[in-house]
Amino acid sequence: MYAGAMPDLPGAWRRTAQGAGLLSPDGVAAPTVFAEMTALAHRTGAINLGQGFPDEDGPTEVLDAARAAISAGENQYAPGRGVPTLLEAISAHQHRFYGVALDPAREVLVTAGATEALAATILALIDSPEDEVVVFEPYYDAYAACVALAGARLVTVPLRFPDFQPDLGDLARAVTDRTRLILVNDPHNPTGAVFSAEVRAEIVRLAERRDALIVTDEVYEHLVFGAPHTPIATLPGAAERTLSISSGGKTFSATGWKIGWVTGPAPLVDAVLTVKQFLTYVNGTPFQHAIAAGLALPDAFFTGIADTLRSKRDLLGDGLRAAGFDVSDPAGTYFTVADAAPLLAEGEDAADFCRGLPERAGVVAIPLTAFASPANRSEYTSLVRFAACKRVEVIAEASARLARLASAG
């Protein structure tokens, strides 16, 4: 979030900080914006619409399955690729929802959340400091940090308010012979965009033309409000060059469990495993069993969570509009981006606005600049991300507080 003076840090940290702007003004590595905002909410007692985590538990079947696995003694290291029941459940899930056939023993890998999947994938697939990773900006904070840790170059394609679809010309210019990976987060955090079929097809076409690999982050795959999610790996020509990443955190409202996965061609999955085994080795054995139970829940569960979140999105959107924001209605994810320009004081930007919001309105939200590289922040200076994954009464109370803020001038 901050671009500050460079302390004398060892190499990897220095690259991370330079690449991702992760230094506080006094020159120390800062906590992530999510940790910072949640700490701010705790300190001020404000409603936390900042960090994206639900304030209710997920399905009882999944919680019970975790308890049952612990009671059954599933408490030691899992096999390196993941417990076989989960590998099979991931493979069956990909087939049930997307028609993708995967060999659970060779084409699936369980990771410590999508975060480790992203880190291990990027570290495994980057070859040289000349390699470029194309990402859509604003982007989830871990992307720039992992690309910097891997010693590669980040190339950004801008997404602009209010529809946040990339311009195809910008995309084509970003993908070159230096592009090693195109990292696609669809549905997209922080904007809530779901990429159009045209954009997805263009990503595949450019990757084929430049012989780049595609890495997808699909953690919000079941939280879409229109047509069902389409994984890029299902497009013609994509499967052989795509690693797909997801996790159980969002789908089962269990963000603290950190069970994620990578699927794709066996040699690429093997490459990710070679790195992953030295990051965490393995994790969360009983939770792996529980997420396997979750992935086998009936279709009605998956449509139900999207319906519930859609009504929360609508409630939040109405509240933000009533408070005077311009709102981009998201097509998926936990998040809604609003333009605070009508509410900003002279000379104030969204970062100032968010810093003052807990005191002024008792609400925490995140400025979109926190998801952009320092050089590109000027594109997003009046935009704010609000999380809708909270109880209805919490969203209603936050909306009422924001409306009072607006009427107080």
Question: In the complex with ligand PMP, which residue's Cβ is closer, 185 or 263?
Answer: 185
Question: In the complex with ligand GLN, which residue's Cβ is closer, 52 or 59?
Answer: 52
Question: In the complex with ligand GLN, which residue's Cβ is closer, 39 or 235?
Answer: 39
Q: Does 166 bind ligand GLN (CB under 6 A)?
A: no
207: nearest Cα among 128, 132, 267, 268: 132
> Judging by DSSP bridges, how do beta strands 326-328 and 335-339 pair with one another?
antiparallel
Q: Does 246 bind ligand GLN (CB under 6 A)?
A: no
Question: In the complex with ligand PMP, which residue's Cβ is closer, 150 or 219?
Answer: 219
Could you tell which of ligand GLN, ligand PMP, none binds residue 51, using a CB distance below 5 to 8 A set by kind? ligand GLN
> Hey, what are 299's tokens?
């279709």
> Hey, what are 28's tokens?
């120390």
Question: In the complex with ligand PMP, which residue's Cβ is closer, 140 or 325?
Answer: 140
Build a one-symbol-per-residue string for 49-68: x at contacts with ligand GLN by CB under 6 A, - elsewhere.
--xx----------------
Question: In the complex with ligand PMP, which residue's Cβ is closer, 140 or 287?
Answer: 140
Distance, CA of 216 to CA of 207 (rounded, Å):
13
Could you tell which of ligand PMP, ligand GLN, none binds residue 185, using a CB distance below 5 to 8 A set by kind? ligand PMP
Footprint (CB under 6 A) of ligand GLN, residues 185-214: 189
Rounded to the nearest whole angstrom, what is the least distance from the CB of residue 210 to ligand GLN in the complex? Answer: 29
Work out which of 9, 18, 34, 314 binds ligand GLN, going by CB under 6 A. 34
363: nearest Cα among 333, 328, 338, 342: 338
Which residues are near ligand PMP by CB under 6 A?
113-115, 140, 185, 189, 217, 219, 247, 249, 255, 258, 260
CB 366 within 8 A of CB 50: yes
Question: In the complex with ligand PMP, which residue's Cβ is closer, 115 or 369?
Answer: 115
Distance, CA of 214 to CA of 171 (rounded, Å):
14
Q: What's the N-to-C CA distance of the chain in angstroms?
A: 28
> Judging by DSSP bridges, how do beta strands 383-387 and 335-339 pair with one another?
antiparallel
Distance, CA of 22 to CA of 232 (rounded, Å):
31
Given the structure tokens 């009671």, which residue do they identify? 71
Could you tell which of ligand GLN, ligand PMP, none binds residue 399, using a CB distance below 5 to 8 A set by kind? none
Distance, CA of 186 to CA of 244 (rounded, Å):
11
Q: Does 328 bind ligand GLN (CB under 6 A)?
A: no
Say if residue 5 is exposed, middle or buried (CB neighbours under 10 Å; 0-12, 13-18, 19+): exposed
Distance, CA of 372 to CA of 378 (rounded, Å):
9
How many of the chain's residues bind ligand GLN (CB under 6 A)?
5
Rounded to the nearest whole angstrom, what is the least distance from the CB of residue 29 to ligand PMP in the complex? Answer: 20
DSSP strands (E only) in 103-178: 108-112, 132-137, 153-158
Nearest 5 degrees, angle CA 218-CA 222-CA 226?
A: 105
Helix (H, G, I), strand (E, B) or coil at 127: coil
Could you tell which of ligand GLN, ligand PMP, none binds residue 85, using a CB distance below 5 to 8 A set by kind? none
Rounded to the nearest whole angstrom, what is the least distance from the CB of residue 242 to ligand PMP in the complex? Answer: 16
Question: In the complex with ligand PMP, which residue's Cβ is closer, 245 or 351?
Answer: 245
Could you tell which of ligand GLN, ligand PMP, none binds residue 247, using a CB distance below 5 to 8 A set by kind? ligand PMP
Rounded to the nearest whole angstrom, what is the least distance from the CB of residue 356 to ligand PMP in the complex? Answer: 25
Rounded to the nearest whole angstrom, what is the least distance from the CB of residue 247 to ligand PMP in the complex? Answer: 3
Distance, CA of 259 to CA of 249 (rounded, Å):
7
Distance, CA of 378 to CA of 395 (rounded, Å):
29
Question: In the complex with ligand GLN, which residue's Cβ is closer, 51 or 85?
Answer: 51
Give the containing element (helix H, strand E) for 104.
none
Q: Does 104 bind ligand GLN (CB under 6 A)?
A: no
The radius of gyration of the chain's CA atoms, rounded to the nearest angstrom, is 21
Rounded to the nearest whole angstrom, what is the least distance from the CB of residue 185 to ligand PMP in the complex? Answer: 5
Rounded to the nearest whole angstrom, what is the least distance from the CB of residue 36 to ligand GLN in the complex? Answer: 10
Using CB under 6 A, list all residues that contact ligand GLN: 32, 34, 51-52, 189
